[in-house]
Structure 1
Amino acid sequence: MAGSIQTDVNAAKASHANSVNENYRGPLVTVTLLFFMWGFITCLNDILIPKLQQVFTLELWQAMLIQTAFFGAYFIVSLLYFVLSITKGDPIRRIGYKNGIIIGLVVAAIGCALFYPAADQLSYTFFLGALFVLASGITFLQIAANPYVTILGPAEGAASRLNLTQALNSLGTTVAPIIGGYLIFGAVNAQDTGADSVKMPYLGLAAALLAIALLIKIAKLPNIQGDGDGDGDANLSPDAGALRYRHLVLGIICIFAYVGGEVAIGSALINFFRLPEIAGLDETQAGHFLAFYWGGAMVGRFFGAVALSNMRNTSYKYLIIAGIAAVVFVLLYTIYGMDEALIVLGLIALNFVVLMLGRFIPSKTLGYFAGTVVVLLLFTIFAEGAVAMWAVIAIGLFNSIMFPTIFTLAVKGLGVHTSQGSSLLVMAIVGGAIVPPLQGLVADLSGSLQLSFLVPLICYLYILYYGFVGSKVKETAI
């Protein structure tokens, strides 16, 4: 009798898995819009930093408080979420992922709208407050959307799906410096050094976020309320069970290190490209090369989505990756010319070689990618001119698979504690609030922006450790 029951259970699970494969492709496409939008919004901070630094005559570390306000919200909101989950029960398990996503979008839209009065009042503190509200919405969005993507399909393809959606996130970060630089810094070129140029871009973002919230509301998305065994059990006893997983705890530190390092580098790039010994570019030109940095992350995540997928035929993986590389080369050649296209193609070839070293195993690939970034940062610190400039741009290509891969490795095997673990991982995004000001402080104290890249170098050394050692699944606390 017990065997018969187990057979029925297995059949039900198999039926559910087939249903997931057939019915979740549409919802996955819809959810990728969210990843594009928060990538676009996050990367606009890299444009806001030099803009508001000019408007309010700030030191670099003060301008970096933009990232502190933004990513500080990740920590505070996620911490409140975690405390609530262990005292009252997991909110996402109660309201469902779909409703959680809608709440995040509405709050983020309110934060964008607050930029208008902040510009009218010409208050840097008001701007920081608006960024905090905006990031609070994105935080709740990430708590709901990241694990939602891992659930929308078979478990073995979770890393590939999250890499694919993060590639759309990177598309947002790629176009944001170009569009944001034109809309926000265009006013500077017109002798308008005030803050009014941020009003309409952020009002437009508010309208777009509300439109996506409406789309999510009316779309036929699965309103999943839980993860793993016991789906939909909103009355699960509250506890801090996720913290008993060692690989999750180490993964929380790894997300802190990764986001801190990535954001610190991106935040410093415009000023870095303006250095006479590096490239001597103006803000608009630097914004275009900043797009190369974030564009590399997008291309690399498409590679990662293919390489880490459960596609059994390796030859097909190679063909798809080669096709993506060819499209990138043609686009760059058409837009920028042969020199830039060949340089990027060479970096893509290096990325592919390192991907091969990882043998398409997520943990090993993460370790090798982090090791490569360490080497590139050494060139950034100690070289000059085009070598230093392209070395730091190449980091974007190797950052590509890190966040989705770390996230997937960290939540692996958490079962009903997945959304709780997700809140803790999103809380660790506070690294983006802490590491950039530290790099700014090192730059101010040492008088060398290049030397300050030692700060993110430390972050990537830890990521290397997590990839090769810390990501192994263990169900005992540290």
Structure 2
Amino acid sequence: MTKSKISAKYIIPVLLSFFVMSFCDLVGIGVDNAKADFNLNNTLAQLIPMAVFAWFFILSVPVGILQDRIGKRNMLNIGMLLTALGLIVPFFMYSFLVLLGGFAMLGIGNTIIQVSANPLLIDVVSAKRASSFLSFSQFIKAIGSMVAPYLATYFALRFGDWKILLLVFGGVSLLSVIWLHFTPITETLSKENKATIGSCLKLLGVGYIALMVLGIFFVVGIDVGINAASGQFLMKKLGMDAEPAMHGRSLYFFGKMLGTFLGALLLTRFSARKFLLGSAVVTLITIVAFIFSPSPVFALALIFSIGLGASNIFPLIFSLTVEKYADRANEISGLMIMAVAGGAFIPPVVGKVTDMLNVTAGMFVLIACSVYLLFLAIYALKK
């Protein structure tokens, strides 16, 4: 049951799982180093992110159903344990196939974590603070995404082995498992029959839930799309060199990190629905402005602004939906994390439009996604 008082004893170990959740962003580091270490072509190297993100579509709903039976905390610990194994094994047995298998295990573990961590966090905070803490949890996740590249570089330069990062993050995952295991948490239980695949998919027949799930699909598509396409846009449209163009991704992550921190503070004072509307408006305006940027400096500032504006949309959509259907949290969580597959589907559409027309036209796919988010925010506000 959701607690009326905030207790660090319960919140901190759950928040630590969001740091572990960020480890799926190691795919970029994995691709770069695997290409260099094993002399891979681009096709083989791109099997690494596929090995991670394919599981969100395949396993999210079944995990939500199993979670309904064994509990969120137990499910979350399973996910973090698999994450630890996926990181530690390649450190000791380093080959491309083992690394690929490790990242597949990382993807499975991360899918479980994302399904379990969000509803468990809602169980340990007051209902009025759920949106605020879900935004803050994304701030914790963003910290992991930000520090990983720098740690990998440090270990490579200091010890000559970037894989030490895998060992360190694997150790953090194990620590999180132990801590959460010894933290007693009273969970909100389903009031109806236990979830099944049929009952889970049936929720898509509820208009509110279906629209919200589609919102997750598009916001993650924007997230991955900006990361995947912004560098090429800056180089081809504005003539930037490769290295500073790639730094735009860091600005985007920094914007997300700052945005989620500010969101956690602002959501203690402002309505979640109004905040969602404001976030959607800022996201749409900044993406449009980015496409028509007159200079590289202005474009880089807008990449930061896009991250800032879009940072809270995922937790806001999640919290508003679970708030409305609290007793179906496990099934809703499964559906929403399944929609994270938007990160696998939207970027190829951007790439296809870019190949057919040009890089500017490709970015208009992200505008279409943000227009839907604005519609969704208006819809949620009216509901």
TM-score by length of 1: 0.70
2:151–2:165 CA contact under 8 A, matched in 1 = no
1:65–1:437 CA contact under 8 A, matched in 2 = no
* Distance verdict in 2 for CA 1:273–1:468, change over 3 Å: same
- Matching residue of 1:12: none
Q: Residues 369-408 of structure 1: matches in 2 within 5 Å?
A: 369-383=279-293, 384-408=295-319
2:115–2:333 CA contact under 8 A, matched in 1 = yes
What is the CA RMSD across the aligned residues, in angstroms? 3.1
- Matched residues in 1 for 2:262 and 2:6: separation? 25
Describe the SS at the equivalent of 1:221: coil
- Matching residue of 1:318: none
Deviations, residues 422-463 of structure 1 (Å, cap 9, x unaligned): 1111111111122223334444555x5454322322221211
2:41 pairs with 1:57: yes
Q: Residues 186-265 of structure 1: matches in 2 within 5 Å?
A: 198-218=162-182, 220-224=183-187, 226=189, 230=191, 236=194, 238=196, 239-240=199-200, 242-265=203-226
2:322 pairs with 1:411: yes
- Matching residue of 2:228: 267
2:366 pairs with 1:469: no
Deviation at 1:209, TM superposition (A): 0.9
- 170-179 or 102-111: bigger deviation: 170-179
Question: Could you tell me which of 76, 80, 97 is aligned with 2:58?
Answer: 76
Deviations, residues 230-255 of structure 1 (Å, cap 9, x unaligned): 4xx8x647534644532111111110
Describe the SS at the equivalent of 1:224: coil
* Distance verdict in 2 for CA 1:421–1:205, change over 3 Å: same
Deviation at 1:133, TM superposition (A): 1.7
- Matched residues in 2 for 1:272 and 1:46: separation? 19
Q: Residues 158-169 of structure 1: matches in 2 within 5 Å?
A: 158-169=130-141
2:287–2:302 CA contact under 8 A, matched in 1 = yes
Deviation at 1:405, TM superposition (A): 0.4
Question: Could you tell me which of 94, 109, 112 is aligned with 2:84?
Answer: 109
Identical-pair percentage = 26
2:68 pairs with 1:93: yes
- 262-271 or 208-217: bigger deviation: 262-271
- Matching residue of 1:21: 4
- Matched residues in 1 for 2:118 and 2:52: separation? 19
2:274–2:381 CA contact under 8 A, matched in 1 = no
Deviation at 1:470, TM superposition (A): 5.2
2:58–2:338 CA contact under 8 A, matched in 1 = yes
2:383 pairs with 1:424: no
Question: Could you tell me which of 8, 13, 20 is aligned with 1:37?
Answer: 20
2:219–2:370 CA contact under 8 A, matched in 1 = yes
Deviation at 1:289, TM superposition (A): 4.7
Larger Rg: 1
Deviation at 1:223, TM superposition (A): 4.3
* Distance verdict in 2 for CA 1:57–1:128, change over 3 Å: same
Q: How many residues align?
A: 377
2:86–2:105 CA contact under 8 A, matched in 1 = yes
Describe the SS at the equivalent of 2:187: coil
Deviation at 1:36, TM superposition (A): 1.8
- Matched residues in 2 for 1:278 and 1:42: separation? 31
Describe the SS at the equivalent of 2:42: coil
Structure 1: stretches of 5+ with no match in the other structure: 1-15, 86-90, 191-195, 312-359, 474-478
1:278–1:389 CA contact under 8 A, matched in 2 = no
2:362 pairs with 1:452: yes
Deviation at 1:79, TM superposition (A): 3.2
- Matched residues in 2 for 1:42 and 1:456: separation? 23
- 432-441 or 285-294: bigger deviation: 285-294
Deviation at 1:272, TM superposition (A): 5.2
1:98–1:221 CA contact under 8 A, matched in 2 = no
1:170–1:297 CA contact under 8 A, matched in 2 = yes
- Matched residues in 2 for 1:444 and 1:52: separation? 27
- Matching residue of 1:299: 258
Deviation at 1:154, TM superposition (A): 2.4
Deviations, residues 96-141 of structure 1 (Å, cap 9, x unaligned): 2221111010111122234447842x45xx6444322211111111
- Matching residue of 1:178: 150
2:249 pairs with 1:290: yes
